[in-house]
Structure 1
């Protein structure tokens, strides 16, 4: 998408607003499937938690992907968007047995990462096929909040608990049809995937009736100019070879599954915000925008370095600005960043705003959540209306005093 198009969308739909380029999502999907084109059975399950707008889900389904979900609500959104139940995998953490049973009734693939829950579910529902999430004890990811495969993680069943796992499966006579792992997000070193895959293969060999092995995701995408990213093509070449060798030794062709979220939608997204004021202090020039961490928390939560472009003045001389929000807490998007000269009323575009951005938005300070727009076939489509005051009070109950 070019800057003129983004600027026109900001004029037509107001600010702040999230914009997603459907064509970039398609490009990323095709890039991933091409990297693993030599795998006989490949399944790409989009991680819904990255961006669950039902129009986006519908488009992802249109591309041919399945869906990775972490809550019953995401399962229901997936079904509403047109995904078939058999193309949805449910990988919760810390939920009740009751929720897992309710999801199982919907016919989706269950993935369990807790020995206690596994035993309870297997005892009550031994005929329901279950995937098992393994913790490979590998520290990986761009931030401790998104590194989920290390030894102290709450996610997955420890590889050191494999004997207990096998005992539960034997005692309940339950059916295990998949093995799964997820080490973290923003992983650069593909050797991390290869190392973890060998651990996963070791566990998988101990089950006779597997249908798939799910390698999670966590691929690093570029957040700024000249930023490094996961080499998907090299990973495809190396992992395909190891996977084919495993399948040959296992005795049948299994499905290789991934669950990318950020990889598919992050680069498709732009967050557009208007500059309310320029504030000069003794040492800093602040560009204060009509948003805050209530709309985009990644820079504050993860230290995300997202490119910020002044699309109202693309040819202007570059100056140093600290871009901050209007929330009554420190909500700094960027410190002393080189940006084309900014004046009040200009529109700034935050790149890489497709994943875990709108999804983490809130109504803090009683601010409205922004609108969402999907760019598809050279046309802007409104896919979520901007909130209004009634949305803030909709579920509140006023009592008399």
Structure 2
């Protein structure tokens, strides 16, 4: 699809996030078809891109939601996700969040410690309700991804070991207020090697078999962890190979297979547009200074993440340049030594693969407004979040001025 970058920036302003909803739909259908013949539920990981219109688009296709805060649970419900397709995960849930999740009767709460299980039981008892739960098992498998997004090793804060998980399931099965219906593992994000997923699934499936042997009926087998996408030269895992590995591991188990794609769905559906303010040379070092900053898209600064960067319509010999923003931090950059032609004021830079962990991690640092978000669908564009104003930012503070 040919995108009129210049026209969109003229219409909606800069900086700007754009998401291709047709691409998102294609990704959902491709993954769902890879599960053909198997009981499955695709729970979109809301943290990747939590715009209500994005969630609604996936909900209409049949997706559930994986949420890591009560705010994300509310977003999923507001966007039309069926309550019985919503999972509430996360290491630290407050009692009031647990209470609200139980009252809203979502599919299940994903537990990460024995202490959390006891809190959920206590809250459920006070409400006179039964809490449907799953337990996040730590298979201790190296996911071979960036250490900041690795989650399945002993050294990470997530999940419980196999022996602890079994004790928790036995306790929950005996409890009047807990109903252990699921099992979960999540070894990391941006996974491009199938072997760690396959190995983890085998370990966790064996645990399910041992639980079934003692009459604990696990109905949902939840494979967390993100299927990797192409930012640069990665080779992603084929969808069919992914689903077949999970199916093989769970052979003979009558369970519904759940997965939690976020980045897979939206990363390459999105792009971030920013305008050139001017160029600058420091003793031969070339900088292209743009109006977007690390507060808008922090992945390059936070993870040293690579995003393909292109200049729209500019011509001439390309030379290396650091693409940097106006924020007062040395880490305020989108790319370093990026080959770019000579650029002028108001030329447009496109940062590709920005649909996941872009806007959701944005901030108001330096009192900068969060950018607008737009959707492209069926050849038309529409606004799905207006640009913030200064008044939006100070609204919660102004009333306290003396």
For the aligned pair, the TM-score class normalised by the smaller chain equals: over 0.9
Distance 2:166 2:81 in 1: 36
Q: Secondary structure at the match of 1:296?
A: coil
Output the TM-score relative to the length of structure 2. 0.93
Aligned residues: 391
1:322-342: CA deviations, max 9, x gaps?
111110111122111113442
Aligned equivalent of 2:94 = 96
Quote the residue 1:358 is aligned against: 359
Residues 1:325 and 2:332 are matched in the alignment: no
Give unpaired runs (5+ residues) of structure 2.
Answer: none
Change (3 A) 1:93 1:162: closer
Matched, 1:48 2:46: yes
Matches within 5 A, 1:363-382: 363-382=364-383
Residue of structure 2 equivalent to 1:250: none
Contact 2:182 2:220 in 1 (8 A): yes
User: Does the CA-based 8 Å contact 2:151-2:187 persist in structure 1?
Assistant: yes
Shift of 1:164: 2.8
Q: Map of 1:173-212 to 2, 5 A cutoff? A: 173=176, 174-205=178-209, 206-207=211-212, 208-212=216-220
SS of corresponding position for 1:369: coil
Aligned partners of 1:275 and 1:294: how far apart in 2?
A: 17
Per the alignment, residue 243 of structure 2 pairs with: 236
Alignment of 1:2-401 (within 5 A): 2-3=2-3, 5-39=4-38, 41-109=39-107, 110-122=109-121, 124-125=124-125, 127-140=130-143, 142-173=145-176, 174-205=178-209, 206-207=211-212, 208-224=216-232, 226-243=233-250, 245-247=251-253, 253-313=254-314, 316-330=316-330, 331-399=332-400
Superposed displacement of residue 98, structure 1: 2.9
Query: Displacement, 1:97?
Result: 2.8
2-structure distance, mates of 1:58, 1:336: 39
Stretch of structure 1 that moved more, 107-116 or 360-369: 107-116
1:160–1:317 CA distance, 2 compared to 1 (3 A): farther
Question: What runs of 5+ residues in structure 1 fail to find an aligned partner?
Answer: 248-252
Distance in 1 between residues matched to 2:11 and 2:367, nearest whole Å: 24
Structure 2 CA distance for aligned equivalents of residues 62 and 336 of structure 1:
42
Deviations 1:85-136 (A, max 9, x none): 1111111221223311221110102211111121332354473221111111
Deviation string, structure 1 residues 300-321 (Cα, Å, up to 9, x no partner): 11111000011132x5432211
Cα RMSD after superposing both structures = 1.7
Q: Distance in 1 between matches of 2:207 and 2:341?
A: 53
Cα deviation, residue 400, structure 1 = 5.8
How far did residue 19 of structure 1 move? 0.2
Using the size of structure 1 for normalisation, the TM-score is 0.93
Q: Is the 8 A contact 1:112 1:130 kept in 2?
A: yes
Q: Is the 8 A contact 1:141 1:183 kept in 2?
A: no
CA offset at residue 149 of structure 1? 0.9
Structure 2 CA distance for aligned equivalents of residues 189 and 227 of structure 1: 10
Q: Structure 1's 94 and 399: CA in aligned 2 closer, same or farther, altered over 3 A? A: closer
